[in-house]
Amino acid sequence: MTIDPAAESAALDAYSAVVTSVAAQLTPKVAALRILSRRGESAGSAVVLTGESHLITNAHVVGDAGEGTAEFADGTIARFEVVGRDPLSDLAIVRADRAVPPPPEYGDASSLLVGSLVVAVGNPLGLSGTVTAGVVSALGRSMPVRTRTAARLIEDVIQTDAALNPGNSGGALADSRGRVVGINTAVAGVGLGMAVPINATTHRIIYALMHDGRVRRAYLGLVSTPARLTPAQADRYGQRGGLRVVEVVEDSPAATSGLRAGDLVLAIDGAPLGDAQSLQKRLFAEAIGQRMEVTVIRNGALVDAVVLPTELPD
């Protein structure tokens, strides 16, 4: 196959134009954070979130600290206070003590496709305003997080080959139009980076952090993994996937209800579950103490269990 040099040059020019445009939009809106806590000094990145000087970053960036400093590309240095943090989504909200650049446009990670161009902006290794570009390597990844009292999977994590290094955490992952679609959170290995997606669940978490300083969640005591139904089951029940119960925590609401490891969860209160996010979206504060009817396939038969979620401790 012969590649036309002119076409190749035009493609590269178009790629460069996209990356430089996104960089110009986002670099002023991503701050370098400096945090001093009981564990010592740490650094990371944050993205302007609101016109009221809120910024979004990772929970692991701020750790247990209550304040720090944010420096912007124009030289502005602001002190910030931590408004709220949620280790189980690895997100945190901070608020600067002065005016900051206006927020960027936020998009929806569900619009991404494998192969989509993405641009990461952050402060890796203390080098502020660094821009890297790549593609979405995979979608729908899960990333485990753990606190002293709970463990959870962050669902629909974006995997990218855009170069990420320590200090990128909390920075922006943007699509080709400059819309922030993820918050960079982890380096998974050589050439692999992860970002928490901006989606409907994230927006609920952000709202709770800004208004309550924490995220209250309902607790079932299930460890599950996405599973495909057989063709016969898919035809019979009208859905292609569910959640396979891997473990039921002893003395949990799920255990009390009679749910078992091996059950295939199809629906809650009649609403089909296709992935772990569809379950986790139902486990916010309003579900605590509220009756849930869980429909599962067990040994080829449909079984309904009634669960009363408790509150997940911090």
Q: Which candidate in 54, 60, 89, 224 is catalytic?
A: 60
Q: Hey, is 168 helix, strand or coil?
A: coil
Q: Which of 42, 89, 169, 278 is catalytic?
A: 169
pLDDT value for 282:
86
- Of 86, 90, 175, 263, which residue is the catalytic one? 90
Res 206: pLDDT: 96
Identity of the amino acid at 8? E
Is 90 designated active site? yes
List, for residues 262-281, the tens digit of each pLDDT value.
Answer: 999 999 999 998 766 678 78
**Interatomic CA distance for residues 91 and 78, integer angstroms:** 20
Buried b (16+ CB within 10 A) or exposed e, 260-281: eeebbbbbbeeebbbbbbbbbb
According to the model, what pLDDT value does residue 278 have?
Answer: 77
Q: Catalytic annotation on 156?
A: no
Active site residue 169: yes
Per-residue pLDDT of the chain (314 residues; tens, 9 = 90+): 556 665 655 655 788 889 999 999 999 999 999 998 777 788 999 999 999 999 999 999 999 899 999 999 999 999 999 999 998 889 999 999 999 999 999 999 989 999 999 999 998 777 778 899 999 998 878 777 766 656 666 777 899 998 888 788 999 999 999 999 999 987 666 667 899 999 988 999 999 999 999 999 999 988 888 889 999 999 999 899 899 998 898 999 999 999 999 999 999 999 998 766 678 788 888 999 999 999 999 998 999 999 999 998 86
Expressed in angstroms, the distance from the first to the final Cα of the chain is 59
Q: What is the pTM of this model?
A: 0.83
> Greatest CA span in the chain, whole angstroms?
68
